[in-house]
Amino acid sequence: MDTLARTAVIAALLIVGFVIGFPLLLGLWQSLYGGLPYLSNVFDSAGLFKSAFTALMSSALALFSAVGLAAIFQGKQRALTWISLPLLAIPHAAIAQAISLLFGPSSFTIRLLSPWATGYTSTPNNWLWDQHPDGWTLIIVLAMKELPFFLILIYNLSSSLPLSAWQRGSTSLGYSRVTGWWHIVLPVILRRLWLPLCLVIIFCLSVVDVPALVGPNLTKTFAHQMYQNWINDTPQGEVLASGVLLLGLSIITIAISAAIFKLYYLYLRFKRHFVRGLPALILPWLGASLGLLLMGTALVSLALLPVQSVLETSGHRVPFPQIWMGKIGLNGWMEALKVGIPTLPTTLLIGALTSSISLLIALWLLVLEKSYGHQRWLETVLMIPLLVPQMAFLAGGAFLGIRLGLIPNHGILMATWFHLLFVLPYIFLIIAPTYRGIDLSFRRTATALGHNWWSIFFRVELPILFRPLVFAFAWGLAVSMALYLPTFFATSGRLETLLTAGLTQLAGKGDNIRAVWGLMLLMLPVFCFLAAYGLASWQASGRKGLRGG
Amino acid sequence: MLKASDINLYIDGRQFLKVGNITVEPGRIVTLLGPSGSGKSTFLRSIAGLNDSKVTMTGHVSLEKLDLMPLPAHLRRVGYLDQRPTLFPHMSVAQNLAFGQRKPNPEELNRALVTSGMNDKRDHDVASLSGGEAARIALMRMLLSAPKAMLLDEPFAALDPQLRSKIRGFIFDQVRTRQLPVLLVTHDEEDAKAAGGEIYGIKNQEVAREA
């Protein structure tokens, strides 16, 4: 690598420090410094407990279901991946919106089932499932969204294991396919799933847009309450103190999950009897059944959105259990698009800027890695924003930004910066395995042909990486579009993206308008992935060696 | 003339191969014969400057009296072919060949296509080529980059016996026609005999002349 390239990769290191380290550390410092004296003012044990409960339950449910599906449906990886990927790509808010419509007391589905199946002849008054006060709707939505994440991770981890050999061994000892997987593969995989589980728990603790749509509303989750406090102009010290408490809660929740894992592995160490036959199938089938139920419900709720979006007089204005009054139309679309379309340029601009910058940094880091070896600490630094609850440093960062005059005056810039914290780690994780996996002989051969470092990078490596790069770009766009809190804090709520506008527009609206918003949130990332697929296919047309690369 | 002398190769600071003196005259094909894992490929790659940072080499390597050691790999003008012909999957057959040219030269490119018998497949996807066709394209591309010496790292190992002698004949003819000094690494004695030049072997981690 020549001097220019060396300078470039060192610059990348500095940029990572600036992009990730600067806002993270300053935001955390601001939260601790400004919030610690007010801790006792914001201690809300009910909200804290509810947050821990919903985060742990949803993560555990998602993991258990994913493990069950992977065990029962071995060999059906392709089909399950195809179902998982769209669910993984769409924003949490889209599923939350769809579930809220599906589970609503006066919803299309309840009406379809009434009175013949439910017995309801009028809208049920004590119906809880659209915004369950104990947080069960939230748990279900979060589990639906995180299940595909775990499932795809399990498949990726499995690909590096000698599964066939293990299976031959366990089958010859008399274990069925499923039981063998449960006894042999699961303990190996589960150990590597702890860190992703932590990421999911932290996310579930911090999430605000989902509880805003599906509750719980009487005793809110702690993050949701903190967000409400910010909106309601609660004193700054108290908001920051809530961030500190949330950080403490995250540490405790992670410690609980670590203890559960430790106990499981302790149990495995002293286990002397390996269950066979039918009893051994109970847990895998239970997990798989829950998984199918979660994924199926999510897909049904999403598939119903287009129908609900054109039922003009759906929802509360139609006598229960009548579904519609014979009117189908696009009024819901007109009303929602009027507000939604103007937000698209901002949404796409922030997403495109974030994804492009993330791709550049990730590529630079990978080049650096190739020259100076695998830097594990660098990956850890990149992951930190995902391992700390967003509220804990975003609130601090936002207060600091306001004091420095950056927020809300430089909305796009600050939103891009805050989004980078969460998009960069994902983009790095997506392209790193492919970049590391580029056949060394490509570089060797091109060098022997007289090409220098830059020529090889641009003319050989980048075209070979084109497919993962465009998919990573689309993924970055999808992640950026789904970021609610970073957008909100970076702009003091003054810059509207599709997601932030959607959340503010939904209150009190008819089911058809809510369905359109759900669809818009769903379709935008889907369009991005379709565009990525189209571009990648165009580049790979007539080039068999590039497909699937 | 390609000359290597007093060569010591180290992996992670541990010596694993010693090479006294090898001289390859233009138009000659000198063979280094040895079993797999004896370090002969690493030696070849070190001459071309293509090894990773774990491998270090001391000694002298010169090509036409030019000291190669301080030069970056892409400026050494040493062609290198290994057993798996590496064609770039995003380029067509003709583009792969053009990638080897230092300056665009359509006539030369056409000649290379004709010589390799691939004139009718110039726009084909390289993934559709047979092993023999890929080997021919890889060699022609290397020759288009106008190397001053060639290093052949078991380039016939992945081919079936019938194709092997055909491709071997093709490659040897091409490099001899161009009067290039060639160092061939193989574990196959038939390849060594067909090369017709001096043969070196590896014993006790040391390269010594056999014939």
Tell whether the model's pLDDT for residue B131 goes beyond 80. yes
- Region of poorest pLDDT, from A232-241, A313-322, B40-49, B63-72: A313-322
* Cβ contacts of B50 on chain A, cutoff 8 Å: 444, 447-448
In a domain, A315, yes or no: no
Answer whether the bond into residue A342 is a cis peptide, omega within 30°: no
Are A79 and A13 members of one domain?
A: no
Contact A309, A515 (CB under 8 A): yes
Same domain, A386 and A457: yes
Q: Which of A309, A337, A352 is the last residue of a domain?
A: A309
CB A242 within 8 A of CB A222: yes
Count the Cβ atoms, other than its own, within 10 Å of residue A180: 25
The structure tokens 């590896």 sit at B202
Same domain, A86 and A5: no
Q: Are A302 and A171 contained in the same domain?
A: yes
Task: Verify whether the Cβ–Cβ distance A441 to B90 is below 8 Å.
Answer: no
Give the rounded percent of residues in chain B with a pLDDT score beyond 70.
Answer: 100
Q: Is residue A322 one of the residues assigned to a domain?
A: no
Q: Say whether A466 and B126 touch across the interface (CB within 8 A).
A: no
A335 and A449 share one domain? yes
Pairing of strands B29-33, B149-153: unpaired
CB A426 within 8 A of CB A479: yes
Residues A261 and A373 in one domain: no
In this prediction, residues B10-34 reach a mean pLDDT of 92
Has residue A314 been placed in a domain? no
Q: Are residues A149 and A191 in the same domain?
A: yes
B 148-187 residues with CB below 8 A of A? none
Whether A101 maps to a domain, the answer reads yes
Q: What is the largest CA-CA distance in chain A?
A: 80
Beta bridge partners of B207: B19, B202
Using CA atoms, how far apart are residues B156 and B161, in angstroms rounded to an integer? 9
The answer to whether position A324 is within a domain reads no
CB–CB of A244/A163 below 8 Å?
no
* End-of-domain residue from the set A309, A339, A363: A309
Helices (H), A73-162: 77-89, 92-103, 108-113, 136-158
Q: How many CA atoms lie within 13 A of A500 on its CB side?
A: 22
Domain that holds residue A255: 43-309
Smallest CA-to-CA distance from B47 within B34, B37, B58 is with B58
**Sequence letter at residue A388:** V
Looking at the complex, report in whole angstroms how far the Cα of residue A423 sits from the nearest Cα belonging to chain B.
28
A238 with A352, same domain? Answer: no
Residue A534 to chain B, least CA–CA distance (Å): 16
Q: Which residue of A has its CA nearest to B83?
A: A441
One digit per residue, the tens of pLDDT, for chain A of length 549 reads 557 666 766 777 788 888 888 889 999 999 999 999 998 888 888 899 999 999 999 999 999 999 999 999 998 888 998 889 889 989 999 999 999 989 888 887 888 888 888 888 888 888 888 889 999 999 999 999 999 999 999 998 888 888 888 888 888 888 888 999 999 999 999 999 999 999 999 999 999 999 999 989 888 999 999 999 888 888 889 989 999 999 999 999 999 999 999 999 999 888 778 888 888 899 999 999 999 999 999 999 999 999 988 887 655 567 888 876 667 888 889 989 999 999 999 999 999 999 999 999 999 888 877 777 666 777 788 888 999 999 889 988 998 898 888 888 898 999 999 999 999 999 998 898 888 888 888 989 999 999 998 899 999 999 999 999 999 999 999 999 999 999 999 998 889 999 999 888 777 788 889 999 999 999 999 999 999 999 999 988 888 877 654
CA B2 to chain A, closest CA, distance in angstroms equals 16
Across the A:B interface, residue pairs with CB atoms under 8 Å apart total: 75
Report CA-CA distances (Å) from A106 to A216, A321, A512.
Answer: 18, 8, 13
| A444 contact residues in B (CB cutoff 8 A) | 45, 50, 80, 82, 86
Burial of B48 (0-12, 13-18, 19+ CB in 10 A): buried
Residue A448 to residue B50, Cβ atoms within 8 A: yes
CB atoms within 10 A of CB A487: 25
Helix (H) or strand (E) holding A193: none
How close does chain A come to B84, measured CA to CA in Å? 9
A63 is written with which tokens? 């993991």
In this prediction, residue A399 carries a pLDDT of 87
Please indicate, yes or no, if residue A319 is contained in any of the structural domains.
Answer: no
What is the number of other CB atoms lying within 10 angstroms of the CB of residue A128? 15
Which chain B residues in 75-94 lie under 8 Å from chain A, judged by CB atoms?
Answer: 75, 77-80, 82, 84, 86, 88-90, 92
The ipTM is 0.83
**A107 and A147: one domain?**
yes
A28 and A157 part of one domain: no
- Give the number of other CB atoms < 10 A from CB of residue B204: 6
Do B86 and A445 lie within an 8 Å CB cutoff?
yes
Is the minimum CB–CB distance between A370 and chain B shorter than 8 Å?
no
Least Cα separation, residue B92 to chain A (angstroms): 8
Q: Are strands B149-153 and B182-186 parallel, antiparallel or unpaired?
A: parallel
Residue of A nearest to B91 (CA): A543
The answer on A52 and A10 residing in a single domain is: no
Residues of A in contact with B141 (CB under 8 A): 449
Helices (H) and strands (E) in chain B, counts: 6, 10
The answer to whether residue A202 sits within a structural domain is yes
Are A207 and A220 in contact by the 8 Å Cβ rule? The answer is no
Burial, A357: exposed, middle or buried (Cβ in 10 Å; 0-12, 13-18, 19+)?
A: buried
Contacts for B107 with CB less than 8 Å, ≥ 6 apart:
none
Instruction: Answer yes or no: are the C-beta atoms of A292 and A84 closer than 8 Å.
Output: no
Consecutive H or E run containing A543: none
Sheet holding B29-33, edge to edge: B66-67, B55-63, B2-11, B14-24, B206-209, B199-203, B29-33, B182-186, B149-153, B78-82
Counting every residue, how long is chain A?
A: 549
- A136 and A260 inside one domain: yes
Q: Is residue A417 part of a domain?
A: yes
Q: What is the CATH number of the domain that holds A406?
A: 1.10.3720.10
Return the number of other C-beta atoms located less than 10 Å from residue A237's C-beta: 18
The partner residue sitting opposite A464, judged by closest CB among B48, B74, B90, is B90
Are A459 and B145 a contacting pair at CB < 8 A? no
- Residues A445, B72: C-beta atoms closer than 8 Å: no
Provide the H-helix boundaries in A175-316: 177-180, 186-192, 194-206, 209-214, 222-231, 236-270, 282-310
| Residues within 8 A of B (CB atoms), A 453-482 only | 453, 459-460, 463-464, 466
Flag if A539 and B90 touch (Cβ within 8 Å).
yes
pLDDT at A4: 65
Q: Do B80 and A448 touch (CB under 8 A)?
A: yes
pLDDT at A447: 92
**Mean of all residue pLDDT scores within chain B:** 90
- Would you tell me which residues 3-62 of chain B have a C-beta closer than 8 angstroms to some C-beta of chain A? 45, 48-50
Are residues A521 and A91 in contact, defined by beta-carbon separation less than 8 angstroms?
yes
Q: Which residue, among A366, A352, A385, has the nearest Cα to A473 in the 3D structure?
A: A352
Count of domains forming chain A: 2
CB contact under 8 A, A450 and B75: yes
- Across the interface, whether the CB atoms of A544 and B125 are under 8 A apart is answered yes
Provide long-range contacts, Cβ within 8 A and 24+ apart, for A528-536. A528/A351, A528/A474, A528/A477, A528/A478, A529/A89, A529/A471, A529/A474, A529/A478, A531/A474, A532/A470, A532/A471, A532/A473, A532/A474, A535/A466, A535/A470, A536/A466, A536/A467, A536/A470, A536/A471
Q: In terms of DSSP bridges, do strands B78-82 and B29-33 run parallel, antiparallel, or are they unpaired?
A: unpaired
In angstroms, the CA A235 to CA B137 distance is 72
- The letter for the amino acid at A379 is E
- Domain termination residue (choose one: A280, A309, A338): A309
